[in-house]
Chain A
Amino acid sequence: MSEVLARLDGIERRFGSVVALDGADLILRAGEVHGLLGANGAGKTTLLNVIGGMLRPDAGTIEVGGSVVSFQTPREAWTCGIALAHQHFALVPAQSVLENLALGLARGWADPVRDVRAKALKLMDRIGLRVPLDSRVDHLGVGDKQRLEILKALLKNPRVLVLDEPTAVLAPNEISGLFALLRELAAEGRAVVLVAHKLDEVLMVADRLTVLRAGRTVLSTVPGDYEIPDLVRAMVGADPVDAIAIGVDVEPRSTKREPGESVAHLDRVSVTGGPGVDLEEVSLHVYRGQVVGVAGVEGNGQRSLALLLAGRVSATRGSVTLPEGLGFIPQDRSTEGLIAAFDLTDNVALALHRVAAYQDGPWLRWSELTRHAETIHERFEVQATSTSVLAGSLSGGNQQRVVVGRELSIATDLLIAENPTRGLDVAAAAFVHDEIRRLVATGVGVVLVSTDLDEVLALSDRVFAMTRGRLLEVDEGQRSREGVGALMLGGAFAHA
């Protein structure tokens, strides 16, 4: 067997009362692409941050090249040959690509960018990833940001390259390009660690698999030793399996629900200058009793579409018809869906306080609001001792139960759900999917906007792809990852 580059043994890490890692082990060898699997909340990102020097473990050892190390900062990890490519948030938006590449590389009084430019150009030539060096990062698309993160890590010439969910923001054909690159890097004698929560993506490229569950390494194997159902069981244990959330056995919906009357209508609507990407001449009918799915790589206008349909932004041109009973599940539950410092009753009131039934002149009917919050607490099985618990103290899954419960209770005509399962564990994702199915059966129209293609395909009666602010309907025959993926990238040309 080839040389062991790094070995993590019995890593433990807590955040307050939450145990994120509880005895995680990982062995990385030269020349391998190592897939790190686990459902959301299994501790993958925490483990990566420990490898990369972002977090110090509470217990356990890290060995690099045979000697035990302890990283105070990420820089010390680089000097040991380990570099971490984050999801796209670890960039400085207001600085240039070059400055982002230089950050932390050059030290002291030196000109930070001079040497880095030549190095970056050489690296980009060699591996074929290109990012415009003089652009400001906030002008880049998400795909470019992800490529920049990978370049940033490779510029440290690491022996161990760690990638945190690099595929989440890439289109299907971009993903295969990335995987080819990872194979090449491994062939040069590096170890590449790839994290994803979709099983079949990891199986496409990995030579070795490690499965984390509840902060613990439960399986370390090579692909082929285990059947997919066994891997799934390793990932989720006894939890109910939600095929969508872990990316196996996803079948596009074949049976179509009969559409009811039109409940929302966009007619050649454009939105410019809003918080998201501009929309151009978007038209859409939403019918009762059907799910409209909107797929697309992040940053193509889905955010604007969701906010428009939810009545949160107004159209620059075109006409918008929306119903009264409208619920909206925004993508970021902790900053947009809930107020962490408010208790559950206040958070329920947040959406309901505008409903006339809960108002009495200038006053709010707090007893009604409290009763309603209690109903949601029970009906949606929110794990909280009472409705006066602060929302910020709940787990992500329970927070989403509050948001979903609240929005379902006002979505008597239309529900807009924007990435409703992002970051949720398998059980919570299954809950959200079940609730959406149940709601649509009662005759409510649903629009599901999601970057998770599998989720869109599995739940939707009609599928649209969003690309550069335009909305394109996907023909029935094209409803597959590959088909929709092609539309997502080149759709504008395909239709023109």
Chain B
Amino acid sequence: MAKDVRARVGVGVVAVGATALIGAVLLWWGGYDPQVAAGAMFRGSFGSWNTFASITLVRSVPLILTGLAVSLAFRAGVWNIGAEGQLYAGAIAAVWVGLRGATLPALILVPAVLMAATLGGAAWAMVPALMRLRLGIGEVITTILMNFVGIYLAAYMVHGPLQESRGVFPQTDRLVEAARLPILVPSTRLHLGFALALLLAAGLAVLLRRSTFGFQLRAVGASPEAARVAGRIRTGRVVLASFLVSGGIAGIAGGVEISGLTYALYEGLSPGWGYTAIAVALLGALDPIGVVVAGVFFGALQAGAGAMQREAGVPAAWVGVVEASVILTVLALARLRAVGRRGGS
């Protein structure tokens, strides 16, 4: 076990190192000064306690949550590429409940908002889950298609039924105080959502390692045939449950973002967190604790990219390239390690 953890951490460190190198070469090739860019990136992410808490950690919250959603699904052999759509579905449900229940006390409203977000995300995941289980249609395409439906549905909501009362801006009214997550660290923007993400990660870690359901989930993901034949596990049920839990967690990401940070739903709420989540999950070795670390890393990266654009004029779109190279390096290292193990020892 300890050896395994060391190996995973090793892969992570090498991947990050390789990515930094690739990033530097790309920047140099694009005509920027890598040193200036790196300085801006560092200042923008770790520069001060307030930067770290208010930008890096705040940005890491949806990444950790969607990363947990994706990693749980992948562990169960469910290719949920749909965290983005599930996040939007959760956000829509959350904002709807938050606006409707404006008169309720915080002690009831906040849990209700989060519950709505969970159900919204799970409902969004239910469609591809049933299409896979009932009709045998692979979830890769269906979850991606549901992403677009979710994004446009949110756009419709903020232009239509949920548009703010003056009817000017494409966004919803702001949530009342009672629907908002409290600030976790005074004088920063770090909200309770971060603690929630950490708790959820710890809970999932225990679930995967110790519980019957977690064991069945891992078994179905590792080998559905063996799970069914040797384990007498009803794989369909486990797949459905994993899909719904994964969607629910992605939905929480949307709800937490609204109730903790933006207090309103607007178009383009997520800059693609649901996709970045795949990089987070892989860099975190599909392990809940690893996902937390990887989520903070990507939060810092996105925070730094913003600063890099402001200070060094480097387009923030580079982040997509960096994410891609993290994913590819982790995949390649894992393959090379597997091949090495087969050929060497």
Contact = CB atoms under 8 A, between A and B. Distances in A.
Given A337-B230, A341-B222, A350-B231, A16 B342 contact: yes
A363 interface: yes
B343 interface: yes
Given A16-B342, A16-B343, A312-B229, A364 B223 contact: no
Contacts of B1: 388
B226 A335 contact: yes
Interface in A314-354: 328, 330, 335-342, 346, 349-351, 353-354
B211 A363 contact: yes
Interface string A55-88: 0000000000000000000000000000000000
Contacts of A307: 229
Contact of A351 (B223, B231, B341): B231
A311 interface: yes
Nearest to B342: A16
A43 to B, nearest CB: 18
Contacts of B342: 15-16
A328 B228 CA distance: 12
Contacts of A15: 342
Interface stretch (B182-190, B212-220, B243-251): B212-220
A330 B219 contact: no
Contact of B215 (A16, A340, A364, A403): A364
B212 A350 contact: no
A353 B212 contact: yes
A330 B343 contact: no
B219 A339 contact: yes
A350 B227 CA distance: 7
Contacts of B216: 353
Given A17-B345, A359-B212, A311 B232 contact: yes
Contacts of A363: 210-212
A229 interface: no
Nearest to B209: A366
Contact of A354 (B210, B232, B344): B232
Given A342-B222, A353-B212, A364-B210, A336 B232 contact: no
A339 B212 contact: no
Which of A17, A349, A364: most chain B CB closer than 10 A?
Answer: A364
Contacts of A330: 229-230
B33 interface: no
Nearest to B220: A339
A351 B230 contact: yes
B230 A349 contact: no
B226 A350 contact: yes
Nearest to A17: B345
Contact of A338 (B211, B212, B226): B226
B229 A337 contact: yes
Contact of A312 (B211, B215, B228, B341): B228
Given A17-B345, A363-B212, A339 B222 contact: yes
B223 A349 contact: no
B225 interface: yes
A363 to B, nearest CB: 5
A366 B232 CA distance: 19
B210 A336 contact: no
A477 interface: no
A118 B343 CA distance: 46
B223 A340 contact: yes
A328 B230 CA distance: 7
A359 B215 CA distance: 12
A224 interface: no
A336 B212 contact: no
Contacts of A364: 210-212, 215
A373 B341 CA distance: 25
Contacts of A335: 223, 225-226
A366 B210 contact: yes
A362 interface: yes
Nearest to A403: B230
A336 B225 contact: yes
B230 A362 contact: no
A491 B272 CA distance: 64
B211 A353 contact: no
A222 to B, nearest CB: 40
Nearest to A336: B229
Contacts of A342: 218-219, 222
Nearest to A366: B210
Contacts of B213: 362
Which of A16, A346, A350: most chain B CB closer than 10 A?
Answer: A350
A350 B232 CA distance: 9
Contacts of B229: 307, 312, 328, 330, 336-337
Interface in B328-344: 341-344
Interface string B272-287: 0000000000000000
Contact of A353 (B215, B225, B344, B345): B215
B189 to A, nearest CB: 37
Which of B216, B228, B232, B344: most chain A CB closer than 10 A?
Answer: B232
Contacts of A341: 222-223
Nearest to B339: A16
Nearest to A406: B230
B230 A353 contact: no
A337 B226 contact: yes
Contact of A336 (B211, B218, B230): B230
Contacts of B215: 346, 349, 353, 364
A20 to B, nearest CB: 14
Given A338-B226, A339-B226, A350 B210 contact: no
A437 B166 CA distance: 84
Interface in A1-23: 15-17
B6 to A, nearest CB: 15
Nearest to B232: A354
B299 to A, nearest CB: 31
Nearest to A334: B226
A36 to B, nearest CB: 27
Given A16-B343, A340-B223, A342-B222, A362 B212 contact: yes
Which of B1, B222, B227, B344: most chain A CB closer than 10 A?
Answer: B222
A311 B231 CA distance: 12
B231 A353 contact: yes
Contacts of B210: 363-364, 366
A448 to B, nearest CB: 18
A336 to B, nearest CB: 4
Interface string A284-322: 000000000000000000000001000110000000000
17 contacts: A16-B343, A312-B228, A312-B232, A335-B223, A338-B226, A338-B230, A339-B219, A341-B222, A341-B223, A342-B219, A350-B226, A350-B231, A351-B231, A351-B232, A353-B231, A364-B210, A364-B215
Given A16-B343, A336-B226, 7 more contacts: A16-B342, A311-B232, A328-B230, A336-B225, A351-B230, A353-B231, A362-B213
- 7 A-B pairs closest in CB distance: A336-B229, A16-B342, A350-B231, A339-B223, A339-B222, A339-B226, A341-B222
Interface of B: 1, 210-213, 215-216, 218-219, 222-223, 225-232, 341-345
